[in-house]
Copies of this chain bind each other. A is one copy, B any other.
Amino acid sequence: MTTLDPASGHVVLINTFTVEPERAEELLAALSEATRETLSGLTGFVSANLHLGRDGRHVTNYAQWESQADLDAMMANPGAMAHMQQTAAMAIAFEPLYYDLREVHDSPDS
């Protein structure tokens, strides 16, 4: 289970892939494998949260890292780069964006 807390100071990477619907599950499986085999072992990895769009055309990874420096090191890691090339080839497009979590609003019932 992942927790979202502005006080954590994590960098959030939201990577939105646009895919042909028939390749969505294949891309999810590749992201899952990349996370288990490579990314989760790198310094600064906190979490990866894999989402399938209800339109069938989007797959989004909401990932948390300890710092921008850890993310930059991941982006330059040969194993991670190989996985990124593989997943990019399954998608029509992808847009990785970096964020800070600023505010959390929770239902008292949740």
> Which A residues lie at the B interface, using CB under 8 A?
1-5, 11-12, 14, 16, 28, 32, 35-36, 40, 45-55, 58, 60, 62, 64, 68, 97-107, 110
Given contacts A4-B1, A40-B107, A60-B14, contact A101 B49 (CB under 8 A): yes
What residues on B are CB-neighbors of A28 within 8 Å? 102-103
Main secondary structure of the interface of A (DSSP, over half): strand
What residues on B are CB-neighbors of A14 within 8 Å? 14, 16, 51, 60, 62
CB closest residue in chain B, given A58? B97
Please, could you name 17 A-B residue pairs with CB atoms under 8 Å apart, sorted by A?
A1-B4, A2-B106, A4-B49, A14-B16, A14-B51, A14-B60, A16-B16, A28-B103, A36-B105, A45-B107, A50-B101, A50-B103, A53-B98, A54-B99, A54-B100, A55-B97, A64-B110
